[in-house]
A and B are shown apart, each in its own frame.
Chain A
Amino acid sequence: MAKMTMIKAINAALDEEIKRDDKVLVFGEDVGKNGGVFRATEDLQANNGEDRVFDTPLAESGIIGLATGLALEGFRPVPELQFFGFVFEAMDEIAGQISREPFRMGGTRKMPITIRAAFGGGVHTPELHSDSLEGLITQTPGIRVVVPSNPYDAKGLMISAIRSDDPVLFLEHMKLYRSFKEEVPDEAYTVPLDKADVKRDGQDVTIITYGAMVRDSLAAADELAKEGIDTEVVDLRTISPLDHETILNSVKKTGHVVLVQEAQKQAGVSGQVAALIAEEGILSLDAPIGRVSAPDTPYPFSMAEDAWLPNQTDIINKVKEIVNF
């Protein structure tokens, strides 16, 4: 065990999988000698060779197209999109091609591709770096979308994603990269895909969230506890397809639910979670479903992030509103 940041945990997972499976290839813009713009791929090329970890021309569709072709040749590609705001350039290859390929070929081909991308607000990036665009891909059948909230999950989920025979979009929140350290086992281990995780047990109200909002929700839960509100926090981890069982069990137990996401209200996955609860858990509810999300504008100018991004206070207020409904 060692104390690691999330970025270190991701780096360790990539290094272990490259060494374990000679079909694993890591590539993207500046991931080679430079070690990635966030150092996620630091030393991977030096330790594993230019055939396994390499730079690409600056073109996102080309990068994901490259992954598609390499998968057809039996490789296990782990391409990087430098910032997820650049996904629009690669939407066809992700949503139009990779996600459909096994279905399209009647299960005779697979696409074991893990697309890594940084996203998320709070670090004053320039335009189209921080946008939460995960909702675009969660609406696409055939690909899983995974968003870790801490170093331990990040390493285990990354290893599971790379080993999966299905495509995975792996979104890494920039604010979580090195804001805290956590004990992470040195050896390879997996955290299961498709499984949400109850990060905090509670009896009164359920917060369902993912990504950076998990930390804010846990902090909010501590504050709420001081006022006698016992909050359960569910970290979705795999945000598509959703873990129905964990979501519904928690809602059934508490009867109150608040959905928390960093994305705009019309984006993200909260709408989908709300629909699931309305469809299969409505008789457990003692109050309407509460939602905390960003306003429905494009991602803000960086100086306005604090005013725009959902925060701990927003979560606390919404939970109180729902519990006291």
Chain B
Amino acid sequence: MSEKIDFNSLLYSPDKAPLNVLDPEGNVVNPDLMPDLDNDQLVELFKQMLWARILNDRSTKLNRQGRLGFFAPTAGEEASQIGSNFAMEKDDFLLPAYRDVPQLILHGLPLSKAFLWSLGHVDGNKYPDEFQAMPPQIIIGAQYVQTAGVALGLKIKGSKNVAYTYTGDGGTSQGDFYEGINFTGAYKAPALFMVQNNKYAISVPRKVQTAAPTLAQKAVAAGIPGIQVDGMDALAVYSAAKQSRDWITAGNGPVLIETLTYRYGPHTLSGDDPKRYRTKDEEEEWHAKDPLTRMRNFLEKKKLWDDDQEKAWTDDVNQQIDAAIEEAEKAEEQKVSDFLKTTYVDAPPAIQEEIDEYTAKEND
């Protein structure tokens, strides 16, 4: 059905509701936006979302047990993260932010490496040459200006791929956010900019970031298309991302998509307590919009999913996670001499002195 969608009909306008396909019961309420996915793909999309939820829950536990380090919860954002990533291709270049680890893994990063990244081990960031991605970006906005460069590089090379990147609602206030979309627009370079609006930047509500009624309309300042989508609806997010990707690869330049979503957990597991700034009512309201429930209801109605499948897949994912954390825990101790050796490709003599000094110490 997607070939019928007019890209311009997706664009944000002040009087338009966020794009939506499914209602909370999993009924298709907007058939015009229903993406062109076959049954296997629909099931695969849901399996990835369920995988991400299980990964979130297990990562939280592993963090509490001290078996993982830095972790930014993702539960509630599966439609936004997985739905958009599902529309991208293997050789598209992903520049994730710190919360976008699920997309990175689905794009090809081994799970054990994602765990090593969380733990703070360099092996988690050693990427094969052909892997088109960067490690999660900690400096909010930096991934946006870098996406401009990757996208321009793709354009110069005549590539058919796109660069895609993510930030949150708070991130839209950064200078690099604006510079990134503006540069890419000026060069008409192939990039998809995702803004995952989960209503809070740590404790600061979205309304404190800007008086703009939507974040999608920030695209206007760069002269590029902006789309606002129900970020709890995987089919709507997928549709918006897929249509945008097609439009971008046709040589039209970048697109900005805002997904309206919610994180059920804290900002990170490094001490944030959402009870200080969110109400129970609000949390319940968003749990009622759960992206997994919605997608599961949709698939069950189509007889594409049942409890047995859910149990089998859950067991499978848990085993993947067990194996990955065990693998990560086998990583060798990091050496200062190795850090020094990778600080420069060609070590200056002053650095070589330090390499020799630390190597001698390590061999003692």
Contacts and interface: CB of A to CB of B under 8 A. Distances in A.
B156 interface: yes
A194 B348 contact: yes
Given A65-B142, A68-B145, A105 B135 contact: yes
A165 B345 contact: yes
Contact of A65 (B145, B346, B349): B145
A57 interface: yes
Nearest to B148: A66
B205 interface: no
B278 to A, nearest CB: 30
A69 B254 CA distance: 15
A65 B180 contact: yes
Contact of A106 (B122, B148, B186): B122
A227 interface: no
A222 B123 CA distance: 56
B342 A72 contact: no
A271 interface: no
Given A57-B183, A68-B145, A97-B142, A243 B153 contact: no
Contacts of A105: 125-127, 135
B146 A69 contact: yes
A184 interface: no
Given A51-B156, A57-B186, A59-B179, A245 B125 contact: no
Of A72, A75, A92, A144, most buried by chain B (CB within 10 Å of CB) is A72
A141 B149 contact: no
A110 B146 contact: no
Interface string A159-181: 00000111000000000000000
B349 A69 contact: no
Contacts of B148: 62, 65-66, 69
A242 B145 CA distance: 31
A69 B346 CA distance: 21
A103 B343 contact: yes
A107 interface: yes
B182 A62 contact: yes
B128 A242 contact: no
B139 A92 contact: yes
Nearest to B182: A57
Contact of B346 (A62, A66, A164): A164
Interface residues of B: mostly helix, strand, loop or mixed? helix
Contacts, number: 143
Contact of B353 (A92, A104, A244): A244
Interface in A41-81: 51, 56-57, 59, 61-62, 64-75, 77
A108 interface: yes
B38 interface: no
Tier of interface size on chain B: 35 or more
B277 interface: no
A102 interface: yes
Given A72-B146, A74-B153, A103 B339 contact: yes
B134 A72 contact: yes
A142 interface: yes
Interface string B148-166: 1111111011000001000
A96 interface: yes
Interface in A222-272: 238, 241-245
A109 interface: yes
A61 B179 CA distance: 8
Contacts of B338: 106
A93 interface: yes
A73 B153 contact: yes
B285 to A, nearest CB: 37
A29 to B, nearest CB: 12
A137 interface: no
A72 B149 contact: yes
Interface in B187-236: none
A304 to B, nearest CB: 33
Contact of B345 (A51, A72, A110): A110
B341 interface: yes
B349 A62 contact: no
A228 to B, nearest CB: 35
A193 B348 contact: yes
A72 B157 CA distance: 13
B351 interface: yes
Contacts of B179: 57, 59, 61-62, 65
Contact of B145 (A61, A104, A142, A166): A61
Interface string B175-186: 110011011001
Of A59, A73, A110, A241, most buried by chain B (CB within 10 Å of CB) is A73
Of A69, A193, A242, most buried by chain B (CB within 10 Å of CB) is A69
Contacts of A241: 348-351
Given A103-B342, A193-B348, A245-B349, A70 B128 contact: no
Nearest to B349: A194
A66 B152 contact: yes
B152 to A, nearest CB: 6
Of B186, B342, B351, most buried by chain A (CB within 10 Å of CB) is B342
Given A62-B180, A105-B125, A242-B350, A69 B344 contact: no
10 contacts: A51-B156, A68-B145, A72-B150, A93-B142, A110-B345, A164-B346, A193-B348, A241-B351, A244-B350, A245-B349
Interface of A: 25, 51, 56-57, 59, 61-62, 64-75, 77, 92-93, 96-97, 102-110, 141-142, 144, 164-166, 193-194, 238, 241-245
Given A62-B180, A96-B139, A165-B346, 10 more contacts: A65-B180, A69-B149, A69-B150, A73-B154, A92-B176, A97-B139, A97-B142, A105-B127, A108-B127, A241-B348
